[in-house]
Amino acid sequence: MIQSMTGYGKACAQCGLRKVHVEIKSLNSKSLDLSTRIAPLYREKEMEIRTAVAQRLERGKVDFTLWVEKDESPTGCLINGSMVKHYLKQIEEISQANGIAVPTANAWDILVRLPDLTYPAVTEELAAEEWTAVQGVIGEALDRLVEFRTQEGAALERKFTEKLDNITALLASIEPYEKARVEKIRARLEEHLAELRGVDYDRGRLEQELIYYIEKLDISEEKQRLTNHLKYFRETMTSGHGQGKKLGFIAQEMGREINTTGSKSNQAEMQNIVVRMKDELEQIKEQVLNVM
């Protein structure tokens, strides 16, 4: 069964004091185009995350987001007291040296703008147990995205089958016009020859020319090749996922046979059928771009 490249997956889990969220979105792309936004604590694992995503998704424009929802316990930054004393001492020395009044009313307004005034209350490190739990969350989000892709792929397969059936029916509807045009060509040639009064012609030569002309307009080979392409497209859909590029190539070959049929069709009815076949094929080509 084919898979769509369009998908969405989300999962979350409580890991100690943190609630980890993973969200993955994907759209169609010629290859894997992965962009990541990862919470600082887990950035050291970015390559592992990229490898896991690439193995499961293979193709598509993928946006991966991992963020953390912490509990409400106060774990902010601490003020660096030694740096405060250091800055105040420098301010006093510079003020005295330049005869400037030492700022007192707005001293904190000045200090909070200076660098290194605070430092983290707790230095966070990623424990092995927590990373194992986060890997489980990532795997769950990937599972949901793949499930979404599979459902979208099933819808695409139904759409493709409908369009292939329509093309098959339209191809069969050409046959009556194809047989009738032989007699129309013969009648038209004889009509033109009859207008040439007093001119004798070889009936045998006329038959030869008629056969040559009809052979040039024969679409039997195009019909057979198009039938084979339609069959191959159906087989490829059921051969497993990751067939998007191959389906695209088959659709191109189908287009060539339909175009050649149209160029050989010298009847309005046949050309109308060819136009309808092209319309059905164009819808297939548009949707094939979404197949992984």
What CA–CA distance (Å, rounded) separates 233 from 139? 32
Q: How far apart are the first and last CA of the chain?
A: 11
Quick check: 26 pLDDT over 90? Answer: yes
Residue with tokens 């070889």: 202
Indicate the residue type of 273: I
Q: In this predicted model, what pLDDT tens digit does every residue of 31-87 receive, in sequence order?
A: 999 999 999 889 999 999 999 999 999 899 999 999 998 655 555 667 777 888 888
Q: In this predicted model, what pLDDT tens digit does every residue of 142-178 receive, in sequence order?
A: 999 999 999 999 999 999 999 999 999 999 999 888 7
Q: For residue 158, how many other CB atoms are within 10 A of its CB?
A: 10
Same domain (yes/no): 28, 137:
yes
The answer to whether residue 177 is domain-embedded is yes
The answer to whether residue 264 is domain-embedded is yes
Same domain (yes/no): 15, 143:
yes
- Contact partners, residue 181, CB within 8 Å, separation at least 6: 217, 266, 267, 270
- What values do phi and psi take at 170, rounded to 5? -65, -40
Angle subtended at Cα 274 by Cα 253 and Cα 237, rounded to the nearest 5 degrees: 40
Domain containing 58: what range?
Answer: 7-73+127-149
Q: Which of 36-45, 95-104, 197-206, 273-282 has the lowest mean pLDDT?
A: 197-206
DSSP 121: S
Per-residue pLDDT, 252: 96
Same domain (yes/no): 67, 88:
no
Same domain (yes/no): 191, 274:
yes
Looking at residue 135, which CATH number applies to its domain? 3.30.230
Per-residue pLDDT, 171: 94
Quick check: 23 pLDDT over 90? Answer: yes
What CA–CA distance (Å, rounded) separates 1 from 239? 7
State percent of the chain over pLDDT 70.
90
The answer to whether residue 89 is domain-embedded is yes
Quick check: 7 pLDDT over 90? Answer: yes
Same domain (yes/no): 106, 31:
no
Same domain (yes/no): 156, 131:
no
Same domain (yes/no): 22, 62:
yes
Q: In this predicted model, what pLDDT tens digit does every residue of 218-231 receive, in sequence order?
A: 888 999 999 999 99
What CA–CA distance (Å, rounded) separates 282 from 160? 11
The answer to whether residue 275 is domain-embedded is yes
> How many separate domains does the chain show?
3
Same domain (yes/no): 257, 244:
yes
Same domain (yes/no): 31, 143:
yes
Same domain (yes/no): 276, 164:
yes
Per-residue pLDDT, 197: 66
The answer to whether residue 196 is domain-embedded is yes
Round the average pLDDT of the chain to a whole number and report it: 86
Same domain (yes/no): 102, 180:
no
Distances (CA, A) of 203 to 190, 193, 207: 10, 11, 6
The answer to whether residue 107 is domain-embedded is yes
Take residue 93 and report the two structure tokens written for it.
């020395």
- Largest Cα separation within the chain, whole Å, is 128
What CA–CA distance (Å, rounded) separates 9 from 140? 8
Cα 98 to chain centroid distance, Å, stands at 67
pLDDT tier at 119, thresholds 50, 70, 90: low
The answer to whether residue 176 is domain-embedded is yes
The answer to whether residue 2 is domain-embedded is no
Quick check: 121 pLDDT over 70? Answer: no
